[in-house]
Structure 1
Amino acid sequence: MRVSLAPLTNDLAGEYGALLARNARHLDLTPAERHRTPAEHVAEWADTTDRNIRFAVLLEGRLIGRIDLNPVSPPKYSLGYWIDAHHTGHGYATAAVALATRHARDELGATDVYGGVNKGNNASVAVLHRNGFVHVADLGTYDRFHLPLDGGEPRNP
Structure 2
Amino acid sequence: MPFEIALTDDVTLRELTKDDAVALAHSYRRNREHLAPWDPARPEAFYTEEWHKERLWAQVLENSTGRALYTVLEADGEVVGRLNLTDIVRGSFENGHVGYWLDTRFTGRGLMTRAIEALAAHARDALGLHRLQAATLPHNEASQAVLARVGFERIGFAPGYLKIAGQWQDHVLFQRLLHG
State if a TM-score over 0.5 links the two structures: yes
Q: State how far apart, in whole Å, the 2-side matches of 1:103 and 1:91 are.
A: 19
Structure 1 partner of 2:70: 54
From 113, 126, 133, give the equivalent of 1:94: 113
Does structure 1 retain, via aligned residues, the 8 Å contact 2:27–2:78?
no
Matched, 1:79 2:98: yes
For 1:24, give the aligned amino acid.
R
Q: CA deviation at 1:84?
A: 0.3
Structure 2 partner of 1:43: 54
Q: State how far apart, in whole Å, the 2-side matches of 1:99 and 1:42 are.
A: 27
Structure 2 partner of 1:68: 84
Equivalent residues, number: 151
1:150 counterpart SS class: coil
Q: TM-score, normalised by structure 2?
A: 0.75
1:42 counterpart SS class: helix
Q: CA deviation at 1:60?
A: 6.3
Counterparts in 2 of 1:59 and 1:99: CA distance versus 1, 3 Å: farther
Bigger Cα displacement from structure 2, 101-110 vs 50-59: 50-59
Q: State how far apart, in whole Å, the 2-side matches of 1:23 and 1:52 are.
A: 24
C-alpha deviations, 1:6-56, integer Å up to 9, x for none? 121122211111111111111115351674322321332222479332101
Q: State how far apart, in whole Å, the 2-side matches of 1:118 and 1:10 are.
A: 30
C-alpha deviations, 1:64-120, integer Å up to 9, x for none? 101110134231011000000111111011111111111111111110000111121
Counterparts in 2 of 1:61 and 1:99: CA distance versus 1, 3 Å: farther
For 1:133, give the aligned amino acid.
F
From 134, 143, 147, give the equivalent of 2:172: 143
2:108 counterpart SS class: coil
For 2:86, give the aligned amino acid.
N
Counterparts in 2 of 1:34 and 1:95: CA distance versus 1, 3 Å: farther
Gaps of 5+ in 2: 1-7, 160-169
